[in-house]
Structure 1
Amino acid sequence: MRAYLVDEISPSDMKKISLFLKENSTQSSLDAIFWVEIPEDLLTGIQYKHQTCRPHVFAIEMGDTWVKAELFLRSLKTMRCDCQGYSSPQQREFILNFVHHMIDTLNINT
C-alpha cells in the first residue's frame, strides 16, 4: 500500500490529532481509522460517473506515535469497483495538503 507517514509524534500531539480528525473526517468502526472525503471537483472521470459509489475517501490511520494517510481511494458503499484505486496527482496533492494543514493548524512538532 502506498501511503504518507508522519512519525515520531508525541502522545500529547496524538491527542490533538485525534480530536482534529473527529471534527474533520468520519471515524470508521475502528477507533484508529478515519475517512476523509475527496472533493467532487477532484474526482476522476470514472469516480464522477459512479455516483452510487460516493463518497470516495482516503483513510487516515493513527498509531501510538504516527499518522498514516493512504494514497488509495475507496468507496464507502462498495468493496470492489473500477472507480477505486490509487490517487491521481491532484488527489495525491489534496491528501498531502490535508495532512500538512492538520500538522500546521495543530502546531505539531515532528
Structure 2
Amino acid sequence: MKQYVIDGLRPQDFLRLKEYLDDYTQVAGIVGIYWLPLEKEVLTPVQADHRDCAPHVFALKLEQTSLACELLVRTQKQIRCDCMAYATRDQRNWLIDQTDAILEKLDIRI
C-alpha cells in the first residue's frame, strides 16, 4: 500500500492528534482509523460522476508514534468500484497539505 507516513510522534502529539481526528474527521469504526473526505475540487471525473459512491475518502491510521495516510481514494459505500484508485498527483498533494496543516495547527513539530 502506498502511504504518506509521519513518524516520531511523541505521546502528547498522539493525544492532540487523536482528539483532533475524533472531533474533525469520521471515525471508521476500527480503533485508530479515520476517514478524511476529499474536497470535490480534487475528485477525478470518474469519482465526481459516481455520486452514489460519495463521499470519497482517504484512510488515516493513527498509532502511538505515527500517522499513516493511505494514498488510495476509497468510497465508504462500495467495496469495489471503478472510482476507487490510487491518488492522482493533485489528490496526493491535497492530502499532504491537509495533513501538514493539521500538524501546524496543533503545533506538532516533526
| Partner secondary structure for residue 48 of structure 2 | helix
Task: Give the drift of 1:18.
Answer: 0.5
Task: Give the drift of 1:109.
Answer: 2.3
So what's the TM-score if we normalise by structure 2? 0.97
Amino acid at match of 2:50: H
| Partner secondary structure for residue 47 of structure 2 | helix
Task: Give the drift of 1:24.
Answer: 1.7
Task: Give the drift of 1:53.
Answer: 0.5
Tell me if 1:20 matches 2:20: yes
So what's the TM-score if we normalise by structure 1? 0.97
Task: Give the drift of 1:90.
Answer: 1.0
How far apart in 1 are the matches of 2:101 and 2:24? Answer: 12
Which runs of 5 or more residues in structure 1 are unaligned?
Answer: none
How far apart in 2 are the matches of 1:23 and 1:89? Answer: 28
| Partner secondary structure for residue 92 of structure 2 | helix
Amino acid at match of 2:30: L
Aligned 1:71-110 pairs, distance under 5 A: 71-110=71-110
How far apart in 1 are the matches of 2:30 and 2:47? Answer: 25
Which whole-Å deviations, capped at 9, do the CAs of 1:45-85 have from their partners, x for residues lacking one? 10011110000000110111100111100000000001001
Map of 1:42 onto structure 2: 42
| Partner secondary structure for residue 57 of structure 1 | strand
Deviating 4+ runs (over 4 angstroms): none
Percent identity, aligned pairs only?
A: 29
CA RMSD across the alignment:
0.7
Amino acid at match of 1:107: D
